Amino acid sequence: MGRRYDPDRRRRIIDAAIRVAGRDGLAGLSHRTVAAEADVPLGSTTYHFATLDDLLVAALCQANEGFASVLDDSGALAEGDLAAGLARVLGDWLNGDRPGAELEYELYLAALRRPALRPVAARWTEETGARLSVRVDAVTARALLALMDGICLQVLLTGGSYDEGYAREALGRLIGRGRADRVEADPPTGT
């Protein structure tokens, strides 16, 4: 009997890894648990992902697409009130798929102990900063990203509820400060 052609197997393995990590945490993630979850032979997981770090990198890449798509699809970057748009997006993301948000941060923070994940985390930061730089300068974009991460981590770690008004106010202050810094840095020229 010949080998079955399965073009979606790699993606199914990544999806299974995300489900296992979401259910059992990163400590419960192994080639064996992922193979069982994906209903594929163990050899398939090691064929596509030689190491557990390779599998985690793929899972983090896929998880990173979650917030990026929410941000891109929201239209927040085109809204007149950027702070309100970003606060709404954070609420949609945190309230829409909280377990997914928790897992994304768990994978993101795993880069502290797993150097293979660091380039993926850095790329996410750069790409998201670039998205925000459409509306604000690069320094303010990075600061906004740090603030949004901080707000999300506080909500996820405390189990609290997301306060959109607080987020809008905090983001607005940072955006306003970034504008004030630009004005001071570039005084008008004239007579």
pLDDT-derived band at 54 (thresholds 50, 70, 90) equals: very high
In this prediction, residue 187 carries a pLDDT of 47
Contact 144, 86 (CB under 8 A): yes
Calculate mean pLDDT across residues 167-185: 73
Classify domain 7-50 at the CATH class level.
mainly alpha
**Taking the domain 59-181, which CATH number applies?**
1.10.357.10
Q: What is the pLDDT of residue 172?
A: 96
Percent of the chain clearing pLDDT 90 (strictly above): 54
Position 147 pLDDT exceeds 70: yes
User: Is it the case that residue 109 has pLDDT exceeding 90?
Assistant: no
- Specify the higher pLDDT residue, 158 or 99: 158
Is 80 exceeded by the pLDDT of residue 138?
A: yes
pLDDT at residue 183 is higher than 70:
no
Q: Domain segments of the chain: what residues?
A: 7-50, 59-181
Q: Which whole number is the average pLDDT over 164-170? A: 96
* In the chain, % of residues over pLDDT 70: 90
34/61 Cα distance (integer angstroms): 17
SS (H, E, C) the chain: CCCCCCCCHHHHHHHHHHHHHHHHCHHHCCHHHHHHHHCCCHHHHHHHCCCHHHHHHHHHHHHHHHHHHHHHHHCHHHCCCHHHHHHHHHHHHHHHCHHHHHHHHHHHHHHHCCHHHHHHHHHHHHHHHHHHCCCCCHHHHHHHHHHHHHHHHHHHHHCCCCCHHHHHHHHHHHHHHHHHHHHHHCCCCCC
- What pLDDT, on a 0 to 100 scale, did the predictor assign at position 2? 45
Strand (E) positions, 122-165? none
pLDDT tens-digit map of 16-42: 999 998 889 888 999 999 999 999 999
Please give the pLDDT value at position 91: 93
Residue located via tokens 């059992």: 24
CB 137 within 8 A of CB 182: yes
The length of the chain, given as a count of residues:
191
For residue 121, what are its two tokens? 């985390």
> Average of pLDDT values for 134-149?
94
State the Cα–Cα distance between residues 97 and 175, nearest whole angstrom.
27
- pLDDT at residue 101 in the model: 84
CA distance 86 to 77: 8
pLDDT in tens, 81-108: 999 999 999 998 888 878 888 888 888 8
The crossing angle, in degrees rounded to 10, of helices 164-185 and 82-96 is 140
